[in-house]
Every structure is written in C-alpha cells, then in structure tokens.
Structure 1
Amino acid sequence: MTAALEASLARIDRLDPELCAFTEVWHEEARVRAAAASRLPLAGLPFAVKGRAGIRSYAARRLIAAGGVPVGATSVPGPGTPWQTWGQGTHGRTVNPWRPDRTPGGSSAGSAVAVAAGMVELATGGDGAGSVRIPAAWCGVFGLRTSAGLLPSPDRTGLATAGVLASSAERAEAYLRHVTDGYVPQPARLPVPAVYSPDLGFASVTPEVADVTRRAVGRLVAAGAVRLVPDPCELLDPAEAWFAVRAGRPTPSTERLRTANDRTLDALFARAPLLLAPVAPTPPHGHEGPGNVYSTALTWPFNLSGHPAASVPAGFTSDGCPAGLQLVTGRGTDAALLGMACAVEDALGRTPLSRAACGSPP
C-alpha cells in the first residue's frame, strides 16, 4: 500500500489548495505508519479523519490497529457557523468538487470532498442530523450513519453516531469489518422488498431531486434489485423533537411525536426490510446558506429513531450536482444495510470521480 499512500498524498497536494478539504496533512507520520502496516489486514490503506479530533475517535483507532494509515484531518464548519454546511480548510472554504459555487454539505464536508476527489477512498464522519449522508449525497459518494449504540459516541443526546464516507459501499465494508466486533457480511437476497417514500409524509422536496430519486428507484425495480411494497411512510415532521433532544429539554409533546414516529417505523420494518427516500430535499445550495429550507428534513428522523441509514449516489440534477438515495433498515442491521447498499450500487452504477479530480477546473 506504499504506492497507494504516495498517490493519495500527491493528489492531496495537487487538489487541496483548490478544494480545501483538509485542515492538516500528515505526510511523514503517514509514511512511518505505512511502513509498519504492511502485514496488517488493511495493509496501509490511506484514510482521512473528520476534524482535528478525528484521530482520537474510536473508529480511527480501530482502523489504525488494523493497518489503516490516516493521512490528515478533514474540514468541518468553522467557528461561529453552527448552521453553515461548508467546511473551513487550511486554504479556505471547502467547495463542492462538482461545482465550486455550491456547498459540499456538512458537517463532514472535507471527508466527502476528499473521497469524491479521489484523495482517499475512505474517510471517517459523524452524523447527528445528516452530517454524513448529506455531504455524501451532494458530493456523489457513499455514506453510512451507523445504528445508535453500535459504536461509542461522545454525544450524550444519542443523536450523533459514527459514520463513514467511501468511494463505494463495497469499500465501506473495510470500515464496518474493522471497527465493529463480530462483523459478518450479509449479502442481499434479491429482490429486496422495499417501501419508497418520496417525502416521508411531511417534507417539501424540490421537483428535480424528486425526479432523480424516483428514476433511480425505477431503475432498481427494473434491474430486479428491489421489489416495491405498496405501503406509505407517513412520519410526523420531527424538527421540534430533534431540537428539543439536542437542547436536552424534551417535552411531553416532543416525546409523543418521537414515539409516534418510532411506532410508524417499527410497523414499516415489520413489513419490509428496506425504506428508500431522498437524502436531502434540495440540490446543494450556495455558500451563503440554505435559506429557510432545512437540508436535514429527510435525515434527522433517523437520528431520533436510531436506525442505520446510508446515502447511495442516485444521479445528477440539471445543475450538474449529485443527488443521493437514502437507504434505511431496522435498528442494528448495519451489515444487512451495507449488503443492500452494495446491491443498489451495482444496479445504479458508481458515480465517477468529480470533475475537479479528473482535471477539469474546480
């Protein structure tokens, strides 16, 4: 993997001044680690960590123990920008590698950009409201938010769990295999019975995003990857409940809302093992912010419920930006979700590296 490491470092040096995905790059430390990792399972696989504290995370420590080599810390939103979804890298504001006037999403902004630009194949992330799935969707890569409780999390509210951004669902298996104990692959049995919800019953989704995800689901059905179960998914808008839990001040009203959604999801997964929906209700917005539309509308229901959820590239909107298809399965079924994601990805095809990575002006 020494050649892979050098290629990774060279791409970072070449592309990061424009994309601003990293806050730190550890050239010499990575080379030392790689020299000692050749006989370990990951054999020196380069990966990135989310934020400066990411190197101390449980997932990063497990990947390093398995022979992974951290190459640097990726950007997250800067101080004083709690609701901005762009990161702040060493060279400036992190940009979407498909369109630099658009955000890459956040807060795992730099991790998504690093993968989309081919700087690394794997990067750690964290997801408390959609912070893995949204940047994965907007940068055209695979993203997985793990089940609540699967991995240690510093978030006392229980909303945020560890996650991974990867060049493919197949590549993400290296993450689950080495950060969890007793991982057993679970290839999907096709077609997978699935419920498709274009809006989860409450969200306002732009027509272009709705069309991309609808067509992606149609391709999955035509390919025999999924079999749609004609059942609606009608959740209540969880925004009030999410804010109450994040603030540590749940009320009887917000707890009733949360319980109602949990019951709806429990009933749904008793009928079908897979829920499909858009990841974000809009394409990537400009760097000035999303306005009055919450990018998290379709992701934070599952931070509240604790389900594992993934983003698989679904296609592109007319502005040249990727959109993601969200896959959700029952609590604790992360290996099964990854198996289904691999099948979905095989049917839809993988998104190529971003234009910036392929040499077009970023």
Structure 2
Amino acid sequence: MNDVRFLPASELARLIKDRKVRALDALEIQLEHIRLHNPRFNALVTIDEQNARVRAREADAALEAGEDWGPLHGVAVTLKDTFETAGLRTTSGTASFAEHVPERDAPAVERLRSAGAIILGKSNTAALADGAQTANRVFGRTGNPWDPERTPGGSSGGSAAAVAAGFSALDIGSDIAGSIRMPAHFCGVYGLKPTGGRIPIQGHIASEHAVALPDELLWMLLVPCAGPIARSVEDLALALRVMADPLSSALTRRRETPSGPPRIAWTDSLPGVPVSEDTRRLIGRAAERLADAGFTVDRAETPGIDIAEAWELAGEVIGYLNTRFQPALVRTFRLLASRGASALARRQGLLRGLVRGPGLSRAKLRALADRREALIRQIDTFLGDWDSWIGPVYPTAAFTHRDRRASIEVAGRSINQDLAEISCNVVFNTSGHPAVVLPAGVGNEGLPIGFQMIGRRWEDEELLELATRVDGLVRGYEPPPDIATGRSH
C-alpha cells in the first residue's frame, strides 16, 4: 500500500473509493503519525479524534452500501483555526475566542463536508490571522517541518506545516497579503489564492469585533481570500471545485486552448526588494526548464504595471482594511500615526500606503476603487500577451523564529519580515488576480523554495491547468527528510 501519510488528497480519495484503503485505517495511520510528530512542530492545535473516527466508519459503511459522498469521500482534512466549525473550537489564536465553539460551519467548511471530507481538526495560525510567522498566546509557536527552529510562515503556517508533514491531506488557509502563499513556499507545498470572491470567506474570524464597511468600499471584502494548501496541483483544483461559490461560476471564463506553446513571463525579483541567491537560482532554473520543454519564456521584471503606484495603492487598502479589524485602542493609535504619514513621503511606497491607509479621507477612500480598476487594467493588458507571470513568493527560504519586529537579512540588506511578505504578494490581493504557489526545489540550506504563478482574473481553472504542466517540469512536493524517515526528536 502507498504511504497514505504523504499522498495527495485526490489520490487517497481514489484509493478509498476503490476499496484499496479503508477510510478508518487511513485515519488511524494519520492519527498515529500526528501523535508521533506533531508535538515537535505544533502544527495542529485542536484534533477531533472521536468524531473523525465515527465519520470514517460511516464513510466505509457508505461505500459498502454503494454510496458515494463526493470527491473527498473519507479523506481527513484540517482547517486553519480561523474558520468556524460547528461544535469544534475555533480560536483564531486569540484569548477572546479561546473557548469559542461555533454553532455552524463556515460555508467553505460546509462544502468540504458535503464533498465527503472528514474534518479532523484545526491548524495553528498567527493571532487573528495577522503576521509573517505563526505564533499566538493560546497555542504558542509552530515550527517548520523541514527545521523546527524555523518558521513555517504566516498566517496560515499551521496549515502548510500540517500538509507538508503528513498530518493532513488538505488544509484550508486564508490570504490577505500572502498568508497562503508564503507558508506554502516555506514548507514546500502547493497553495492557491483564488480570484477574490471565488471561495466564500464568510465564517472566517480575523477580528475581535464585527467589521462593517461603507457601501462604496464593499469591494474590499474581495481582498481577503480563502484557499487550499495541498500536496498537488490536482488537489488545489479539486478543492476549488468543491468550495467555489456557485454564483462565481457566472463570472468564470473558459477559453479555448490557444494554439502554440504556453507563454510564460517571469522574474526572480521585484524592484527594490532584495532576494536570496537560492531564490534567483531556483526560479531561473524553472524558467530554463520551461524553455527547454518548448514553452515561450521571457523575462519581465514586473507584470506590466506601475509597481510604485501598485504598492502604494495596495498599502493604503490593507492599511485601511486591517485597521478596521483591530480593537478600538489599536484603531485610534493607527489613525493618529497616519497623520504623520507625510514624514514618510520619501520612503518606500508600500510602507507609505500602509501608514496612510487608516487615515484616508472619504474622498480618497472612494478614489481607491478607480485606482484599483486602473491596476486591474494594467495587469489584464499584460496577461493578454502571456498565459502567466512567474515570480518570487518571499525573498528567502524559511527564516529562524524571532521577534515580529526583528528584520531578516537578504543579500546583505535588512528588511522588515512582514513587509517582505507583503511586497511580493499584496498587489494581487488588491487586484483580485489568482495566484498558485509551486515548489521549485531545495536551496543550499536544505530548505524548500517555491514560486508563484499569476493568472487572469476569473480564470483560476486555466491557471491550475497550466500549473499542472509547469509542475511536471520542476521538483514538486517531497516529504521533509526527518519526517519521511520516521525520526521523532
């Protein structure tokens, strides 16, 4: 039998449906693996063993009776501890919700259950889904399965760590500025930030209070996204089919497959953002392999956009939106700080936007929508000539645990760890374009490095189809060495 601990969810589902593996047996192997290794990494923080076993027995009995629950029949999955789960604690990593047991599932969770998935438990998160590392006062810190002294990234770090380590066949994370993509990159797995609005984000807790926006700013609710973290592109596509809002299908566009080879633009860096030599080397090697395989490949430093304006716009959107999520005292502090934003006028546009965002006037807030449409047009125009744009997810591989205020060192420069994440990712949250992360290989420090592929809005399926072709030419998922050999420390 294949090692079910590290199989993609889609392959495990096929084995269960073909009666080659019992759902209960697969679950027991998974639970034993979690008991052996999870204490070292703290990826899963709530595990519902009893109900998972009941559901696994029911899944096996259903197959005996000729019933098929759906594409995830009998597969045990986990969820970022920000998504509400009926009868199962959901804390969002904060004391305010430490004992919160929701009465109903978030829509994305409900759809997973309807597809036959078994909800095994919850994966750790940065408090209120905010941060480039995964640590909180409720459950503590999560370590990277490739090296527990390093972070798995944030804020969906527990999700990526659980999938990479074989604790979960599939996990659902969230992403407002890279929180699915960075952890996938750090842990050597796959992640999808879909087009804004494809997968419902309702039932996701990222604030201690209800957040209301003026009607003219409701489009900002499309900036944060729910999306899958998995061990294959096929699993990302499966999860998208299962969780996508049916209404979003009216907006999706299925083109005829264009004649000729796929057209890929790529870069290994962004203006003003330092990247490691390993990052440059592995992304460059991926581009070479695509070219050798007959793809049309060309280097492009930015996807046809005014990057300075895009960063400033994205910074203002996230600065405003994230402030609305905060408690009253924090909101007041950020509003006061924004009044001194003029002192940053000569500094980097993204940081300037983040500081300005909380204090923007109503007129400037309304103008954000027009600026966003201009950004969308720029990216759409660029992607009219290319099928995808490949670029970095983060400047380095996973860094060691440190205070959130501490910088990271990249190519002889110091850079804020959160700003490094946002710089590579937030523009595409603001514009709504989908992005998929693929593992590129392992760097000289023995740590995985990935890259992201940006696609056209509402063409997530086409992006994933292309990603499948690209994935066959790069390294792909492999279990972390210590875990694969069964070593527990």
TM over 0.5: yes
Residue pair 2:130, 2:155 contacting (<8 A) in 1 also: no
In the TM superposition, what are the counterparts of 1:1-362 in structure 2 within 5 Å?
1-37=23-59, 38=62, 39-41=68-70, 42-55=72-85, 56-78=105-127, 82-88=130-136, 92-154=140-202, 157=220, 158-180=222-244, 181=246, 191-224=261-294, 226-229=295-298, 231-233=300-302, 234-235=304-305, 236-237=307-308, 238-246=310-318, 247-248=320-321, 249=357, 251=364, 258-288=372-402, 289=404, 291=407, 292-293=415-416, 294-358=420-484, 359-360=486-487
Q: 1:307–1:184: structure 2 CA closer, same or farther, 3 Å change rule?
A: closer
Shift of 1:231: 5.0
CA contact (8 A) 2:433 2:455 kept: yes
CA deviation digits over 1:276-326, x for unaligned, max 9? 111112222221146133222111110011001010001122111111110
Structure 1 gaps, min length 5: none
CA deviation after TM superposition for structure 1 residue 3, in Å: 2.0
- Aligned residue identity for 1:228: V
Single out whichever of 3-12 and 245-254 deviates more from structure 2.
245-254
> Is the partner of 1:347 in helix, strand or coil?
coil
For residues 317 and 327 of structure 1, what CA distance do their matches in structure 2 show?
Answer: 20
Aligned equivalents of 2:69 and 2:421: distance in 1? 40
Give 1:329 deviation, angstroms: 0.5
- Tell me how far 1:134 sits from its aligned partner: 0.5
Q: 1:210 and 1:54, CA in 2 relative to 1: closer, same or farther beyond 3 A?
A: farther
Contact preservation (8 Å) 1:23, 1:90: no
CA contact (8 A) 1:87 1:110 kept: no
Instruction: State the superposition RMSD in angstroms.
Output: 2.8
Quick one: distance in 2 between partners of 1:327 and 1:188?
18
Question: For residues 254 and 457 of structure 2, what CA distance do their matches in structure 1 show?
Answer: 16
Moved more, 88-97 or 140-149: 88-97
Partner Cα distance (2:428, 2:41) in 1: 30
Q: What is the Cα deviation at residue 35 of structure 1?
A: 2.8
**2 CA distance for matches of 1:67 and 1:342?**
24
Shift of 1:137: 0.5
Contact 2:49–2:120 (CA under 8 A) maintained in structure 1: yes
User: 2:293 and 2:272 mapped to 1: Cα distance?
Assistant: 29
- 5+ residue gaps, structure 2: 1-22, 63-67, 86-104, 205-217, 322-356, 408-414
Looking at structure 2, the residues matched to 277 and 316 of structure 1 have their Cα atoms a distance apart, in angstroms, of 17
231-240 or 34-43: which moved more? 231-240
1:121 and 1:171 in contact (8 A); partners too: no
Give the Cα–Cα distance (whole angstroms) in 2 for the partners of residues 222 and 132 of structure 1: 30
Q: Distance in 2 between matches of 1:184 and 1:9?
A: 41
Note the C-alpha offset of 1:351: 2.5
Cα separation, partners in 2 of 1:43 and 1:330, compared to 1, 3 Å: same
Identity %: 30
The separation in 1 between residues aligned to 2:132 and 2:453, in whole angstroms, is 25
* SS of equivalent residue, structure 2 residue 291: helix
Give the Cα separation in 2 of the matches to 1:185 and 1:258: 24
> For residues 213 and 278 of structure 1, what CA distance do their matches in structure 2 show?
8
DSSP 3-state at the match of 1:296: helix
Residues 272 and 84 from structure 1, CA distance in 2 versus in 1: closer, same or farther, beyond 3 angstroms? Answer: closer
Per-residue Cα deviation, 1:76-98 (whole angstroms, up to 9, x for no partner): 0147x943412449864100111
CA distance in 2, matches of 1:92, 1:14: 19
Structure exhibiting the larger radius of gyration computed from Cα positions? 2
Q: Residue 472 of structure 2 aligns to a residue in which SS? A: helix
When the two structures are superposed, what TM-score results if normalisation uses the length of structure 2?
0.68
SS at match of 1:170: helix
Change (3 A) 1:52 1:297: closer
Post-superposition Cα deviations, 1:154-181, rounded to whole Å, max 9, x if no partner, equal: 4863211111000111122321221234
Number of aligned residues: 360
Q: What is the letter of the counterpart of residue 230 of structure 2?
A: A
Partners of 2:284 and 2:107 in 1: CA distance: 37
Aligned-residue offset at 1:69 = 0.6
